[in-house]
Structure 1
């Protein structure tokens, strides 16, 4: 059965898209509509001229953004996020579904992995180090197990230390776990000079080459320390989902601007000022930005003062660098890079206990 002719409204969309350099077909528009990525036109009465189908304002920009990021096999959620962070007004239902999938799927997997890591803690350890340390270590070991960009880059940064250059992977990872534990504590253990020395090495503020690995490390550190600077309040996945559902499109646009500014600012620093904007045209970056948006949507409610996400992350990363420098200065000649001590060594050094030795 032959397809019907596209409506006048669709023809106008295709013409505008073509003028911008995008060849969009009527079937493509219909496919995006079925997937919730394109709004339905509304019928408006035009007096003696009868009625006409009219798309909401911003639909032309949305079509161009969808066309720009559309590739064979690309998931609807990824396409929605890519168009959204490209500045388009994605329909609310499709956008919130995409944000929820990007954030909660990863959050649930992460929480399950952390719970499994915490369950492997031997009986009696908690009484020695406390619940906070055990929770931070579970987070750290989960991060290490994922082997993502942050872990790989931090591991590489730590190997720049003379005593770790040729060390076994296990020894490097023990030191890396120590860094990750400190960043996952409720407060940064800045009085521990050995930790601060490894933290300084792992963050590699002195690095000159720019790449996504350096960017990922600084972003992770900024987010972690930003949480340490704020008031701690735990929220459930259900509470965060309700918060997302109740967020208006205008608020989502404002949050997008904050996330975009924060990511660009971090990327600008990581590239030593060579690139002013991060490239969010890749699905993993769009998903990452969506997760950041969700985190900030919740975290901004307990952050002291009225600051933007970009200001918060910029301040957080700057303070981390200053604290590393302050720790180095206060340690004086004692500022040395320790050998990997492992869990038993940490307990012996911090509590004087031989538990688990």
Structure 2
């Protein structure tokens, strides 16, 4: 609890927040300051009126953003990221720490799991398919084991193929691994018609979806393929961390705008124009957006030409569609088209209800 009455500067913040519908207390302001989420006020000389505490511009909007996303037990890092992607000017130190923790913790866990998967490759196999392929397969099997939204939806999409409609999940998953391997390779294997047919079915560009998880599929594909289209250059975690530390507030705000635009455009496309903006008010979405920001912060250093993150993802999805169409025309009659009979027909076909089984 505050040891004395709130300062005039704090009272102004409290009154502004309450005018916007947020019940903020002096003790809450003190907690946020202690956690680095609010800047410290500075003393300003006012001539014969003495001195006064003054907060930087934008602090009142920051308080409203923190109040809007505050919840019991919510971590400081999540609150910083939620407020930041809501457009608030979060103190630089707290923001950079939150971005770094979200990105490097996730990256470290993922790399450990991938390394464990790669270690399971039988001795001698690596020389047959190559290290690059084995790394891509380790990534693919890691994604399959995690069973995220994109993986679950791609599995559903693959079952639209006639030969997988009633197949056991093990068989579907092996085909799904093939799709994920191709997306994780350094270059898309466009000359493999079987892979391209499965990729086309997994991405389901050709039919409307009634589930928002299609957004996760397209986002995964866009991120993966945009890396395949770009110039490949490895950077170390230390280099990425140093790059983040050197980012100015203006640079971070520019990156935020690019990430928001990219996420909103993909969400708008995934919902077939029904929702123009993605909901970044959930902690996992804010952490995911922070990881995208870190990846793009590094990737744009080697990106050929001036292109935004949204353009990069849009172009990668467009290129994937073109690749699938080109592979279909090249394959001709051997191309396996998904069955587009709708939800009722799909349920009947895959459960055997149509045949009374």
Calculate the TM-score normalised by the size of structure 2: 0.93
The question of whether the paired residues in 2 share the 8 Å contact of 1:37 and 1:90 is answered with yes
Kindly state the Cα deviation for residue 165 of structure 1 after the two structures are TM-superposed.
Answer: 1.4
Query: Does 2:74 align with 1:77?
Result: no
Name the counterpart of 1:11.
Answer: 11
Please state whether the residue corresponding to 2:213 is helix, strand or coil: helix
Distance in 2 (CA, whole Å) between partners of 1:122 and 1:192 is 25
The question of whether the paired residues in 2 share the 8 Å contact of 1:163 and 1:337 is answered with no
Name the counterpart of 1:93.
Answer: 93
Distance in 2 (CA, whole Å) between partners of 1:221 and 1:210 is 19
Deviations, residues 63-106 of structure 1 (Å, cap 9, x unaligned): 00000000111111110000000000000111011111111101
Deviations, residues 168-204 of structure 1 (Å, cap 9, x unaligned): 1111110001000000111100110000000000101
Distance in 1 (CA, whole Å) between partners of 2:155 and 2:193 is 19
Name the counterpart of 2:342.
Answer: none
Name the counterpart of 1:350.
Answer: none
Kindly state the Cα deviation for residue 206 of structure 1 after the two structures are TM-superposed.
Answer: 2.2
Distance in 2 (CA, whole Å) between partners of 1:296 and 1:192 is 29
Please state whether the residue corresponding to 2:130 is helix, strand or coil: helix
Instruction: Give structure 2 stretches of 5+ with no counterpart.
Output: 339-357
Please state whether the residue corresponding to 1:39 is helix, strand or coil: coil
Name the counterpart of 2:49.
Answer: 49
Deviations, residues 45-76 of structure 1 (Å, cap 9, x unaligned): 11111100000000011000000000111111
Number of paired residues?
Answer: 338
Please state whether the residue corresponding to 1:96 is helix, strand or coil: helix
Name the counterpart of 2:24.
Answer: 24
Distance in 2 (CA, whole Å) between partners of 1:215 and 1:102 is 21
The question of whether the paired residues in 2 share the 8 Å contact of 1:197 and 1:328 is answered with yes
Distance in 2 (CA, whole Å) between partners of 1:30 and 1:312 is 42
Instruction: Give structure 1 stretches of 5+ with no counterpart.
Output: 339-357
The question of whether the paired residues in 2 share the 8 Å contact of 1:210 and 1:272 is answered with no
Please state whether the residue corresponding to 1:43 is helix, strand or coil: strand
Distance in 2 (CA, whole Å) between partners of 1:47 and 1:296 is 48
Kindly state the Cα deviation for residue 337 of structure 1 after the two structures are TM-superposed.
Answer: 6.8
Kindly state the Cα deviation for residue 209 of structure 1 after the two structures are TM-superposed.
Answer: 2.5
Please state whether the residue corresponding to 1:123 is helix, strand or coil: coil
Please state whether the residue corresponding to 2:43 is helix, strand or coil: strand
Distance in 2 (CA, whole Å) between partners of 1:306 and 1:336 is 38
Stretches of 4+ moved more than 4 A in 1? none
Distance in 2 (CA, whole Å) between partners of 1:237 and 1:156 is 36
Distance in 2 (CA, whole Å) between partners of 1:2 and 1:63 is 17
Q: How does 1:1-357 map to 2 (within 5 A)?
A: 3-336=3-336
Deviations, residues 268-299 of structure 1 (Å, cap 9, x unaligned): 10011111100100111101100000000011
The question of whether the paired residues in 1 share the 8 Å contact of 2:153 and 2:217 is answered with yes
Distance in 1 (CA, whole Å) between partners of 2:152 and 2:236 is 30
Name the counterpart of 1:347.
Answer: none
Please state whether the residue corresponding to 1:231 is helix, strand or coil: coil
Shift in CA distance, 245/298, structure 1 to aligned 2, threshold 3 Å: same
Kindly state the Cα deviation for residue 212 of structure 1 after the two structures are TM-superposed.
Answer: 3.3
Please state whether the residue corresponding to 1:212 is helix, strand or coil: coil
Using the TM superposition, name which of 231-240 and 276-285 deviates more. Answer: 231-240
Distance in 1 (CA, whole Å) between partners of 2:72 and 2:37 is 16
Kindly state the Cα deviation for residue 15 of structure 1 after the two structures are TM-superposed.
Answer: 0.7
Deviations, residues 8-56 of structure 1 (Å, cap 9, x unaligned): 0000000111111111100110010111100000001111111000000
Distance in 2 (CA, whole Å) between partners of 1:33 and 1:211 is 41
The question of whether the paired residues in 2 share the 8 Å contact of 1:141 and 1:177 is answered with yes
